[in-house]
Amino acid sequence: MATNKQAIIRYHALDQCFSNSGRKYFIDDLLESCNNAIYTYTGTKNGVKRRQIFEDIKFMESDQGWSIPLEKIREGKRVYYKYSNTKFSIKQSSINESEANQIKETLTILSRFKGMPQFNWIEELLIRLETTFNLKQQPKPIIGFEQNVYLKGLEFFNYLFNALFYKIVLNITYKSYRQKISVDIELHPYFLKQYNNRWFLFGYNEKENAISNLALDRIISINEINKNFIENQDIDFEEYFDDIIGVTVKSNLERQKILLQISNQLWPYIESKPIHGSQKVKQKNDESIIIELNLQINFEFISLIFSYGSEIKIIAPESLKNKIIDKAEKLLQQYI
């Protein structure tokens, strides 16, 4: 368990001891109470040290903590601890400085979502939190996310978000870039994913008996269908995209071993930002680095490799090399 979680357990265990007016808690008693609480909540017996308890008490007494009204009463050579105000508890106190700073950090991140259709509530929440806890955000932004608030199709985001949450079957009128006319697709929506500043909806297509991937900017209209929702039983969307670049997953397509020759000029960028999680260095010399990838070759991967131009050379497979050559020749013909 993370240290900060154990700290919270200790703070509340100490708070309970300090509040108990029917018993005297000396340092060894506090130590035992904290260890028992950690064991109860985590199942671990990692003993807390006396020094840690003293540091916890110091923090709880500070302004960064809860400014607890703690009395230290000497009895012979020993000291026991209790609240001077028996009604006090950190559970009833307002947030401390550390918690306030954490909320400020959260507000900074949340504020970047303002303007997204599903997150209109954030602006109201920010105002309420700032007013309630006297928190003021940075006068100027200090963090930025890559997002296109003008993207076509974002008006459907709120509708689709709720359809996923409440498991509503949808009829989606859709027109891809390659279609001349629109088609109606009956979809059981499962997942929304952003890639390259665009949003994509994944769901079960009954007619195709497969997972469909629809770009929000190609959706024309959406209507609900009154029928039983087919649950997602097989796909873990945390792992669904592991074998690809982008969003185009084909269940009948195997991963391939790909060898790429990277120029020394480009390598520092590729090394710090790997093309794919499977990336491995196979060979290095004075002019270039050869890496190996294992993934599905899809449209997004080909586009990414092509975007690096002459800085990347395909060594294998031959089929991928031919696809890049074909794209390069078509590009060249446009300028002749």
Q: Using one digit for the tens of pLDDT, what is the confidence trace for 177-196?
A: 888 899 999 999 999 998 98
Residues 284 and 317 in one domain: yes
27 domain-assigned = yes
33 domain-assigned = yes
pLDDT above 70: residue 93? no
How far CA 182 is from CA of 175, 189, 220, in Å, comes to 4, 19, 8
pLDDT above 90: residue 260? yes
Here the CATH number for the domain that contains residue 59 is: 1.10.10
141 domain-assigned = no
Which residue range(s) make up the domain with 322? Answer: 256-333
pLDDT of residue 115: 54
Q: What is the largest CA-CA distance in the chain?
A: 98
143 domain-assigned = no
pLDDT of residue 161: 87
Residues 42 and 78 in one domain: yes
Whether this prediction's pTM lies above 0.75 is answered by no
| Of 103 and 259, the one with more pLDDT | 259
Average pLDDT of span 28-56 = 88
Domain count, the chain: 4
Cβ–Cβ under 8 Å, residues 20 and 36? no
Percent above pLDDT 90 for the chain: 58
Whole-angstrom distance, CA of residue 131 vs CA of residue 129: 5
Whole-angstrom distance, CA of residue 122 vs CA of residue 113: 8
The mean pLDDT value of the chain amounts to 85
Whole-angstrom distance, CA of residue 304 vs CA of residue 299: 9
146 domain-assigned = no
Residues 220 and 280 in one domain: no
pLDDT one-digit tens code per residue, 50-76:
999 999 999 999 887 888 999 999 998
pLDDT of residue 113: 60
Spatial neighbors of 169 by CB under 8 A, at least 6 apart, are 186, 187, 188, 224, 225, 226, 227, 228, 229, 230
Buried b or exposed e, range 131-168, using 16+ CB within 10 angstroms: eeeebeeeeeeeeeeeeeeebebbebbebbbebbeeeb
Spatial neighbors of 33 by CB under 8 A, at least 6 apart, are 13, 14, 16, 17, 25
At 81, give phi and psi (nearest 5°). Answer: -125, 140
Q: What is the CA radius of gyration of the chain?
A: 29
pLDDT one-digit tens code per residue, 129-168:
665 555 555 555 555 666 676 778 888 888 898 899 899 9
